[in-house]
Structure 1
Amino acid sequence: MWRVYSCLVYEHDLRFVAIAIVVCVLGSFTSAALLQRAATTGDVQRRSWVILAGIVTGISIWTTHFTAMIGYAQELDLRINVVVALVSAVSAMALSVLGWFIWSEDSRLRRMLGGAVVGVALACAHYMDMAALQVPGVVQYDAIFVVASLAGGVTLCAGAGLLLKRSTSLPLAWPSAVALGSGILCLHFIAMASMTIVRGNASAVLYGVDLGTVGSIVVFTSILIIAVALFLAYQSQNRARVATEDRKRLLKALADLQASEAHHRASIELNPQIAWLADINGGISEISPRWAELVGIPVEQAHGDGWRTPVHPDDLPDVVALWRRAVETGNGGIADTRYRVLLLDGCYRWFRARARPRRAASGEIIAWYGTLEDIDEQVRAELELRRSEERYRLAFRATNDVIWDWSYERRRTTWAGAIEEVLGYPEARDGQTEEWWIERIHPDDRDRVLRLQAAVLQSGGDQWSLEYRFRRNDGEYLSMVSRCLIVRDDNGVPVRLVGSMLNVSEQRRIENELHRAAHEDNLTKLANRRLYALRIDEAIDRANIDKSCVGLVVIDLNNFKSLNDSLGHAAGDAVLCEVADRLRASAPRGATVARLGGDEFAIILPGLTLADAREETVRDVLAGLEVTMLIDGLRMVVSVCAGAAIWPRDADTAGDLLKCADLALYAAKSEHPGAIRGFNPEMRQASEIRATMLSNARLALEDERIIPFYQPKLNLRTGMIVGFEALLRWQDNTGDIRPPASIFAAFEDVELSTRITDCMLQRIIRDCVRWRGEGVEFGRVAFNASAADFRRSDFADRVLRSISSEDLSAALFELEVTESVFIGRSTERVVRTLETLRSEGMTIALDDFGTGYASLTHLQQFPVDVLKIDKSFVSPILADAESGAVVVNAVLQMARSLRIETVAEGVETLSQAEYLRARGCDIAQGYLFGRPSPADRVPALCAASATTGYPNYLVTTP
């Protein structure tokens, strides 16, 4: 690189170097512009522009070399052979023309090859000029610089050819021009650097023409030729650009014209209206060809009265009469009707015919112009709307809903539906004011209803729904569920309220009865265990807010079992009722007295302070029990033991508080009758009992000592076994069979509870496979699932996989769930699990129905096939049928209405079975029909049922 630099700076006149660079740049950009023009013309003109570009390129190459050589070593007397120089110039131009012709072929390789040929022209021109140069001495060349000059020049020229196609849209195709000029300058000055002149005999005679003599003429002439070519290229490009713009405008105008024609043609083709012309007498004289395409009758046959042929026979008389009347009278200037027309495919469609007369200046009709428009979809929509409205009216009559429609514009409410049948207001059909509706809302509900409605209206909502009491015409208030849809204008302002009212009084009455039965002890009318749980939670929540204490007293009657056995159940019940009355009377205001079960009672004392938390407080509450009681003419003294605990001193939760109170009660009973004990920390022995239960459950699972026992379920109408309920039993270390109550704590543990369910299900499936192999018709087998099982998202899939793995049908199984599954759980997950099992054929049974919370709500929300009436409702039938009849009858009646199967649990006597059968109960189970038995006993039970049946009192004629 230093050699090139020194040659350029020290061996050249920089003025001539600058002129050479200017000539090179001007020639390169002119060549690129000419080739750019050639790329946008036709074949004939393209050849002319390519030839001109080659000539300019050759001149640029030769002139650049010649100019640079003039400025080289001016102290030497350099001369040039004119003939050889001219050959060099001609060869440069010829090879450049050839190279650009090769470049004009549309190929990447040819473009590079064409540029390379131009590079060869460059090399030939330079070295031929050097051969034509006569110097006073010997010229020596450095081979490395020669090769470098050739490689650089040819490569850059090849790159110029490649870039030219990519830059035809750029001004003067400057990337290609830069590459071409760089190639010319690179080859010349590197080649000049390769040359060394060794001076010889200074007196030697040199022939040829002095460079300075012709230099200025050659340079000037070349620059003039290049400038003229550049001007021609520039002018040609301008004309080409103008021609291109004119062509684009012409093509756009042509495209717009074609689009307009297509738009007009499409509009005509898509126009649903068929134009027609009639004379003054009403005879058709012209009609659109589209009419013939639709009906399949030639246009000529439609003239006169021929248009009537495809008209529906039922519509034709009215249409002809209207048209005749319009022709005779003018019909106010317009005739308009609709009728059905038979189309080519054999179907009738509705069309609308409209006509307007054309009148002369005198007002006389001289012709009729008309259109026929297809309105079939519109008419059918109208007919469907009428049918829909009729169905809507009939549906509301069938559902007994009261419909109302309030208009803000008229300020009146229109009533429809069952307003007369349900509420007894026939006059309301004519419309009533808003005040009329407000006056009949129960006073206790009125503010709530109006407040909710106002809030929804102001918030921009579009509907509201609530339940309130509404006065019937006879003065009775009915429970009504009202739903309202708010119609708003574009600005969001309410313009109309549309709603319905549904009478749910009977449903609420049944719910209230069930709710009362679920929360009230049947015998004593005190709060039952479930209501106790709600009240203790409420008391703790309030105490947590006002920083007070909650006392809990658990009471147990002493020797009640002996009293019951000696005097009978009636006397025992009387004692329980008397104790309940006295506890209710002596309990302080705000306290809750509950019967937890058997002879166990509890009193919740809210709002206490630690100073009040003394045994004397409990004694004051129990003082009324110390008086002698008169039961069935016998005087007796009933003594009690009581245990007390204080929240939050003794426990943090309601459950722990009850455990503490129970521990205190057990301590009191261990002392003496009538003892009252408060809880102390030493009484936490109960936790050890729970730990023992959990340990026993884990060992039983590990040793596979969880065993299902099966209790038969009988059809009360046929007396036949229709299935079994699988009940959990487990073997202890000694081999004794233990009930589930002995490991009850395990069912409160999520991990153990789910493991127990899986173990039970596997044992049940194994027993079913064995029974099926023995040909036993065992019906449906019910198994229980705990609330913990439903916390698993894959519970349904696990159950179904276990059943299908043994080639059993899910219809052979029944899943029993209690309402604890529904409380505090994800409703969506429970519903999804139950629906998945049910879709595979498994039956869903709701166990302990009536003892839980919001049972009717669960029936509406969850898929349930079977209701199991709890033993607590069946057992009172033994002593007094009426005491259990309210709930039992309500459940049976509701189940029949919902078409749900009923199963009564805990049937132990013939009278109970007969009572249930007479009132439509489907299935029963209990000790009357059989105690839970191991799986080996099931075939014998089924065989006995199939051959001899159960006792005759259960057998009826199908």
Structure 2
Amino acid sequence: MPATRIMVVEDERIVALHLRHQLLKLGYEVVFIASTGDQVLRRIESLRPDVVLMDIHIEGDLDGIDTVARLPPELHIPVIYLTAYSEEPILARARATKPFGFLLKPFSERELHATIQMALERRTVEVALRDSEEHLTLALQAAGMGAWEVDAQSRRIIRAGHIEQVFGCGGTGGDASWERFLEHVVEDDRALLLRAYEHLTGGDAALQVEFRGIHADGSVRWLRAQGKSIPPRAEHPQRIIGVLQDVSDHKAAEDRRRQALTVFEATRDGLLILDPDLRIVTVNPGYCAITGHDETELLGRRPHMLDDGMQPADLRDEIMAALGEGGRWRGEIQGMHRGGEALPLLMNIAAVRSEHDSVVHYVAAFTDLTAIRAAEQRLQHLAHYDPLTDLPNRLLAADRLDHAMERCRRDRRALAVLFVDLDFFKRINDTLGHSVGDTVLKTVAQRMRGAVRAEDTVARLGGDEFMVILEQAENPDDIAAIAMKIRAAVTQPIMVGGRELATSASIGISLFPDDGQTRESLIQAADTAMYAAKETGRNGYAFYTREMTERVILAASSDREVRRALAEDELVLFYQPQISMETGRLEGMEALIRWRHPVRGLLGPAEIIPAAERGGFIIDIGDWVVAEACRQIRRWRECGLPPIRVAVNVSAQQMRNGRLLRAVEGALAETGISPDSLEIEITESMLQNEEECIATLHALKGLGVTLAIDDFGTGYSCLSSLKSLPIQRLKIDRAFIQGIPGDLNDMAIAEAIIAMAHRLRLSVVAEGVETEAHMEFLRALGCEGVQGFFHARPMPASDVPDFVAGGITDSRAPRRR
């Protein structure tokens, strides 16, 4: 064994040499003799002696005790004090440095040797203890644990070990307490810890409890405390000793496992865990629900959709190759329900490998695509069929026409395209409402489908427009016969809500390849022919000719021109007087629209109204007429003319959604004229939608506006509702006046209208009065007013003051022609 190395610190030279002699004699090695503290501190780390013999009273600024206090603690060198004094203050200072012994001078060699040996033994024990503690500390750190010990009597944490590294609560020894410890526990979990503490103090059984602790950084961590009560002994009171471990990651992993298990059990998708041979190890309820099999039928078997024969050979080879190469495959496969029904499935299968990269099992997920496929079919149907009539829509009709044309090109055959438009359907929608219109469209669609062959296509393009594709249509006479069959089917009366409605259709026909080589040109040609059929009286058919296209282009140009005329103030109102039969004086004016065309001159309503209806801006024109008539009434009043009632014709579209009411209210508010200066004229056809029309008329009546029915007797008779209408006047259409006195039927109709109006306490104005005979007849029947060329033609607003100033004293004499 190597000799024990000793450093001697003694400032008396003779004593130091004597001590060195003694040590050598006892077999020790003296590595250095120092006389000051500074010498010791300079050499101690390089020499690293086994023992230091330190005289307390030495030379220099540092005595022996101060020098020991400054020794590097990590060296752990035993120090034995040498002193000739035994005063208590000196000994107290010395004890604070935890020396390994004291030798009082003088001492014998035996005392010296015994003290050194005892110091060495103590050092050996302390080193072993320190190593043991270090090993325990490292083990606890490796396990993520901290050690703790509580005095059961004082409830003090006597020893905390490295608990603060786990818990972050801080405090060791007498500085920590059980109460302080609880402050670092989530409040909801403190009662749990208190019960555990009481259980431990009442017995020696071990206990484990998990709780949430608040770390020093503010985060909440899951902790597991394990402890055991140690019974009291003579030298120790009852203690509770244990360890504390941060199990947050473990709890999180458990939560993830529970979540995964919940998902596995609850998901509606089918989930399988397969062994390396693709045999089922675990199956979830979702898979059983999809396939109809029980779990007991499936365990240990391969999924039936992976068996030979279930999938095409190339697909099965693709799946197995993908699993062998990348360990993953995703795609659609064909499965089968236990009952035999086919199951479209989306399969996603992946290999799970061990740390050695060998496949330990496979996880397969199956999604039932049955509902998705059914939804796709429904969407396909919605995308290609009209939802109201269930006929092919514009998209599908175009596709079918393209294919039909391709077949006809290949086989050198012809086909026909029929463009079918219902006559006056807009009037049904506007007056009776869209629900009635929808019923009409569905009925017409069914009838058209029954009027053609099974191989022909009937499609709804939108609104009241239909298209029929006739293949094998070589003979124009056969095509015409089918068109007439369609017309006959459409014209049959339709019963809607107890009301019988009459419908008709105009049909345009184009032929492939003569009238067009493309889908667009064929449809356009048929559409053009349809407009030609309407122009010739509707409820018929027409084959396409080039002249039709020229007329359509001219009509489109007219639509644009009228829209421009409205925007550039080219439209004006003319006024035709209404004369009282009793006084022969002016009692009102009817506003009539005219167009001051920059090239063609003054044009009448026939050039304006049809174009406005085709272009969809008839309401805008109607609003303008109401506003302009009210402004003109105000201008006449400002010129000093007596009050003049002006009648304005309105369209059925203005009656919808309160549009007319808003226009009248706005015009009256803008001009400030008396409401009874304005008269609104409606036609009988507008009364079919009784509820909306009557509500609007009552609202207008409430404003003080005068109401009249124009062209009475030419439209749909609504005698049942006539008695409830808030009107003041009926106007007899000129068609029943022109034949008087030669046409007895006209005379009878005019007489009946006047008699009925008088019975209903309504006044009557006759239109188209042009002769003295007309005047005599109407005067005899008591007609209140007349309007026509006999008295005056329609005139611009600037001529009205002169007309009023001239006056009429004899109603039998014509004023203006």
TM-score category of the 2 structures, normalised to the smaller one: 0.3 to 0.5
In the superposition, the TM-score normalised over structure 2's length comes to 0.38
Normalized per residue, the structure richer in strand is 2
Q: Which has the higher contact order (CA 8 A, sep 6+)?
A: 1
Normalized per residue, the structure richer in helix is 1
In the superposition, the TM-score normalised over structure 1's length comes to 0.32
